[in-house]
Amino acid sequence: TIYNLGSINLDHLYQLDHFVRPGETMASNSYQCLLGGKGANQSVALAKAGATVKHIGAVHHSDQAVLRQLEDLGVDTSLVAQLDVPTGHAIIQLNKQAENCIILYQGANHALTQEQVDQALSTAEPGDWILLQNETNLIEYTMKKAQQQGVKVAFNPAPMDAALTKQVLELVDLLIVNEVEAMDLIGTTDIDSTIAAFPKVYPELAVLMTLGKAGVYYFKGSETVFAAAFSVQAVDTTAAGDTFIGFILSSLMKGEEMKNAITRACAASAICVTRLGAASAIPTQDEVTEFLAK
Ligand code: ADP
């Protein structure tokens, strides 16, 4: 089983001629409400990749449709708390230039309790994985609990909080960062020196560093693996990283070698970027197998 302690958001998307200005009231050209949050996206990716995934999170008790949507996509939501706190949400303005402007309300994502985590992990077994991002509370607490139970910890520190990340690194079995997160953690603005620095600064840590269309690095001690990204026509890179993470962990859980796991995850995220949207753009494992057979 893969546990995923992560955010569940409702993304309210408004297309506008221009961003709303101070004092202005403006009708939007369109409205969509989509399931979002890195946590939910990664749970969907794990499920589509064929993993047994139990999401640990929280929503407002009136938002049953969100839970149903996750269940329909194959995610077990029995460990999602239903609280009297608003579901996390984002108010997203999209202008004509496709730029966005976002208000984020963390809501229930930051109302997780230690009792909830304790209970969720009480059925975990050694060899299970737990995945976390940085969009909920109780990151360090959960990692400590997991480690005590022999559950392996994968951490995607997004959005990056360098202080928190450094503080919990010794609890992490696999760190997954994108280019910006990697540079923030090392404290440079240059990607080449970041790549060179990682294995030196963190020699004990297993790290996957995704570099968009440039591909992905894996570092562990003296071992370095580089995999190029697949060449595709990208239309929307939303959820590329979430797809990568879901597929890599699902493969590792099944006992795949890291190299093969990386190839599958690169293929899955390459398919993702050829499609519009987040959760809906994540491919199934059959689609990935078909893509790799070509
Ligand atoms: P994030 O979405 O977290 O910023 P990245 O942009 O690094 O993550 O993307 C994650 C992975 O998705 C990359 O390692 C790569 O394999 C794949 N990917 C991203 N963008 C492209 C692209 N334009 N073409 C092909 N693959 C891509």
Note the pLDDT tens digit of each residue in 75-113.
999 999 999 999 999 999 999 988 889 999 999 999 999
This prediction has a pTM of 0.96
Which protein residue's CA is at the shortest distance from atom 16 of ligand 1? Answer: 266
242 is in an annotated binding site: yes
Residue 277 has pLDDT above 90, yes or no: no
ipTM of the predicted assembly exceeds 0.90: yes
1 is in an annotated binding site: no
Q: CA 8, 13, 19, 21 torsion: positive or negative?
A: negative
CATH number of 2-8+37-87+108-293: 3.40.1190.20
For ligand 1, the distance from its centroid to the CA atom of residue 80, given in whole angstroms, is 29
Which protein residue's CA is at the shortest distance from atom 5 of ligand 1? Answer: 212
Q: Which residue has the tokens 């951490």?
A: 155
Q: Is the separation of the CB atoms in 182 and 198 below 8 Å?
A: yes
Note the pLDDT tens digit of each residue in 41-56.
999 999 999 999 999 9
Residue 238: other Cβ atoms inside 10 A: 18
For ligand 1, the distance from its centroid to the CA atom of residue 8, given in whole angstroms, is 22
**CA-closest candidate to residue 229, choices 211, 249, 208, 206:** 211
In degrees rounded to 5, what are phi and psi of residue 190?
Answer: -120, 125
